[in-house]
Structure 1
Amino acid sequence: MAEREQLASRLGFILVSAGCAIGLGNVWRFPYITGRYGGAAFVIVYLIFLAIMGLPIMVCEFAMGRASRRNLAGAMLVLEPPGTKWHIYGYLGIIGNMVLMMFYTTVTGWGLAYTYHTAVGHLARLSPEEVGNFFGSFISNTPELTMWMALVVIIGFLVCSIGLQTGVERITKILMSGLFLLLIVLMVRSVTLPGAEKGLAFYLKPDFSKLSWEAVYAAMSQAFFTLSLGIGSMLIFGSYLSKERTLAGESVYVIILDTLVALMSGMVIFPACFAFGVDAGAGPGLIFVTLPNVFNSMTGGRIWGTLFFVFIFFAALTTVIAVFEHLVAFAMDEWKWSRKKASYIGIIIMFIASLPCVLGFGPWSGFHPFGNGTVVLDLEDFIVSFNLLPIGSLVFVLFCTSKYGWGWDNFIREANTGIGPKFPEGLRGYMTYVLPLIIAVVLIMGYIQFFG
């Protein structure tokens, strides 16, 4: 068996893993639901769920990856007891990575497109109604949407084709550095706008009267979805990790970076929205309809708008590169393809697989999978977010704690190999009985919310 590639540095591992977790969920979903459920009070509940749910599942993924030195499908096959069928989910998880990218490439393309349209002034001097119409005509323009999606697919796989250290790790370090730099610049601009203090008070002052069971569930699901757990997105980077350090400490760093980006995004969005009297709870339309109006009202708005959409694109692209790396690793591990072959064939397969999402806004817009107003993207998102992420996380936790799976002793030995904070062995009961229940609640409540 060929020697497993490794990431060049610990910082590279943390940034690549955080890059996978940091995506569109941090940038608009987190600020929007934070505002909806009581600002800082919601954040406190969210952080608790990150610690009690997100952290243990992430350690499970990293441990499975590092112990097996394989992709998700290969990992479960290598680690499962002989005669068991855990690896069936491994293949489902790989399909989950594919389905996630079938719509994520399109939305990442929107970020790239808006960077261009804002920079050249296509959105300047448009009325709020015209900005809304611009977005509507943009997503129904199938040739243009296809072009931006194709660009994202090509960029993502080309980065993977260069190599793990020279491509994935190096480019992600650059993107993540750029992302934090842009965030800081945008944050300073936003909090110094006249009237921004109202937005800051709304965002940072806890309002515990708004905390309801619905808010607790929202915090639970956001903590869950933000880390992309359940389809092996983290596992693959565990497979490239040396045994020098324990996995609990590394997981904490990844979660801190992910949370930092989410919190800082709120510091950009809320002050700007309040300064210009715009609804920060505008949901999915916030980024592409509401915020362009804010930039149009600002001095130097075209520059600030362009920087904001570059930031959006960087946040989404780090996730694209990370998930593409898992698909490339699968082809390399299981089919013995070279990295370049896996990447180039990946471009063709992913482009074709991403077309239904693009067509769903144009020629296929008459297809409403869940009733009026829903499109192909909603169906693909439902498959991943409401099914594979929670079911996969449940499988991973059971796999790492059950004597019929990989088992607690193997898991804890791998997690605590190296120097650094140890994963508490006293959590065995919690991991075996309580955590699976919490994940089951997320799964069931998600169904109730979606179909209710």
Structure 2
Amino acid sequence: MKSTKKQEKNGFGSKLGFVLAASGSAVGLGNIWRFPYLAAKYGGGIFLLVYLILAVTFGFSLMITEIAIGRRTGKSVMQAYTKVDKRFKPLGWLAGAIPVIILPYYCVIGGWVLKYLTAFASGSGHAAAEDGYFANFISGAGATTLFFAIFIALTAIVVIFGVQKGIETVSKVMMPVLLALIIGISIYTLTLPGALDGLVYYVRPSLSEFSIKTVIAAMGQLFYSMSLAMGIMITYGSYMRKEDNIETSVRQIEVFDTIVAFLAGMIIVPAVFVFSGGDRDALNAGPGLMFVTLPNVFDSMAGGQIVGVVFFLLVVLAAMTSSISLMETVVSMIQDRLGWKRLPSCLLVVGVSFLLGMLSIFGYSIWSDFTIFKMQFLDFFDYISNNIMMPIVALMTCILIGYVAKTTYVEDEISKNTVFRAKGMYRIMIRYICPLCMLLILFSSLFLTL
């Protein structure tokens, strides 16, 4: 008779459940606000074209590698690399540390989004659009802690229920709702006077805007957009049924993820374009785009209160699907490593994440004068995990599969129940192109300012 833990390792009850859960992980804050402002910054349509090309080659190769490793080993990320090759045990620890670092500050940002949702839902959208609202909010530890606690608690409730009853069930509800919301609000945005000019800028490629920075930015965005090199896809792969087709599943995840990112741009770029009178700088506000610029946009448009509610509900759902996958990845590591049951494992993760999350909260409030390399705690955690650790993990994974275990390790798992149609491209990407891309990202992170 199989143990409870082994049943959880094969937890997804259907291919649809796996695809929606993995898509939910991929669809997060990076899609909703980071993708649009990068697209605006790096030439609009040309960025979209470069991103799409990279998604079906570079992103596909990395994602299919991680899912195949997860399904073949049946282990969490820390132990999966060891099972592939014992010499790569440190890589498992490095990869496992990434979701531990990201989950706390991600839930802090999720709490910010939840705050804005409640502000617009309670009729305080005009106040949320006022100058200084966001700065005043994050500088006060009390309110930010409350919304952070609510967000991480909601995430934990889903994870406690397990893979099928929790993650899969919630994904089957949240992902269709998220897609319906983003389609609806993007259509509405395009009805605004002048919005079509913003849409043209967003989708029309211009070769004059192309540069190496466009490529590097698009590659970096793929990590955010597709949940790569943070242990999530290995974890979800370990829950995937053996009879399901990995290659088609990854293609479906890519399509879903790219559609959401593209539609998010159709909401944000035309809306801000109209609000700013075509000023590109308004789109380059980084995090301020969501919490400062967009509330002003919604406040200035007819029906903006309702649009604000729908938009921030959309962002809350996107953030939560990703936080669920991050927490599940850490819980899976604890269960594999310590043999604990799900509930105590989850409670431990919540406790540690809450303490680490408080560093990010205090970094903008009572400890705002303290910085690490001139960065607040949250910014430092984001930089070290996304710009340094994730590219290293991806690079070492390419070396492991491309040259140590050989690409047949992944190819054999994919080919168990189907023909691996992209085998030729995959071998070239994982052995040559992907490692070069990783080195470019690392170089840009350390020496260039994008």
TM-score scaled to structure 2, two decimals? 0.94
Which one of the candidate residues 309, 326, 337 is aligned to 2:340? 337
Match of 2:145 in 1: 146
Match of 1:182 in 2: 181
Match of 2:191 in 1: 192
Question: Structure 1 residues 185, 389: closer, same or farther in 2, change over 3 A?
Answer: same
Question: Structure 1 residues 132, 85: closer, same or farther in 2, change over 3 A?
Answer: farther
Mapped to 1, the partners of 2:446 and 2:250 lie a distance apart of 29
Match of 1:219 in 2: 218
Which deviations, in whole Å up to 9, do the C-alpha atoms of 1:307-354 show, x marking residues without a partner?
111111111110000111111111112211111121122221211121
Which deviations, in whole Å up to 9, do the C-alpha atoms of 1:353-395 show, x marking residues without a partner?
2110011010110012232xx3111110111111111011112
Match of 1:399 in 2: 400
Question: Structure 1 residues 85, 117: closer, same or farther in 2, change over 3 A?
Answer: same
- CA RMSD, 1 decimal: 1.7
SS in 2 for 1:121: coil
Which one of the candidate residues 296, 307, 312 is aligned to 1:309? 312
Match of 1:445 in 2: 444
Mapped to 2, the partners of 1:349 and 1:216 lie a distance apart of 37
Which one of the candidate residues 29, 44, 57 is aligned to 2:62? 57
Mapped to 2, the partners of 1:276 and 1:353 lie a distance apart of 37
Amino acid at match of 1:195: G
2:107 counterpart of 1:105: yes
Instruction: Identify the range of structure 1 (293-302 vs 106-115) with the bigger mean alpha-carbon deviation.
Output: 293-302
Q: Shift in Å at residue 425 of structure 1? A: 4.2
Mapped to 2, the partners of 1:156 and 1:425 lie a distance apart of 40
Q: Shift in Å at residue 225 of structure 1? A: 3.3
> Which protein is richer in helix relative to its size?
2
Q: Shift in Å at residue 430 of structure 1? A: 4.2
2:81 counterpart of 1:76: yes
Amino acid at match of 1:400: I
Mapped to 1, the partners of 2:34 and 2:353 lie a distance apart of 26
Which one of the candidate residues 42, 46, 61 is aligned to 2:47? 42
Q: Shift in Å at residue 142 of structure 1? A: 0.2
Amino acid at match of 1:270: V
Mapped to 2, the partners of 1:422 and 1:387 lie a distance apart of 32
Mapped to 2, the partners of 1:214 and 1:426 lie a distance apart of 24
Asked if structure 2 preserves the Cα contact closer than 8 Å seen for 1:19 and 1:315, the reply is yes
- Identity %, equivalent residues: 32
Q: Shift in Å at residue 428 of structure 1? A: 2.7
Amino acid at match of 1:192: T
Amino acid at match of 1:397: C
Amino acid at match of 1:46: Y
Match of 1:7 in 2: 12
2:125 counterpart of 1:123: yes
Q: Shift in Å at residue 444 of structure 1? A: 1.2
2:288 counterpart of 1:289: no
Asked if structure 2 preserves the Cα contact closer than 8 Å seen for 1:228 and 1:389, the reply is no
Mapped to 2, the partners of 1:435 and 1:125 lie a distance apart of 46
Q: Shift in Å at residue 52 of structure 1? A: 2.4
SS in 1 for 2:446: helix
Unaligned runs of 5+ in 1: none
Q: Aligned runs of 1:267-282 on 2, under 5 Å? A: 267-277=266-276, 279-282=282-285
Match of 1:26 in 2: 31
Amino acid at match of 2:228: L
Match of 2:370 in 1: 367
Q: Shift in Å at residue 132 of structure 1? A: 2.9
Amino acid at match of 1:69: G
TM-score scaled to structure 1, two decimals? 0.93
Which deviations, in whole Å up to 9, do the C-alpha atoms of 1:374-430 show, x marking residues without a partner?
311111011111111101111211111223xx3322221012222365341464344
Aligned length: 441
Question: Structure 1 residues 112, 243: closer, same or farther in 2, change over 3 A?
Answer: same
Unaligned runs of 5+ in 2: none
SS in 1 for 2:231: coil
Which one of the candidate residues 87, 92, 95 is aligned to 1:93? 95
Mapped to 2, the partners of 1:107 and 1:300 lie a distance apart of 26
Mapped to 1, the partners of 2:426 and 2:290 lie a distance apart of 40
Mapped to 1, the partners of 2:189 and 2:296 lie a distance apart of 14
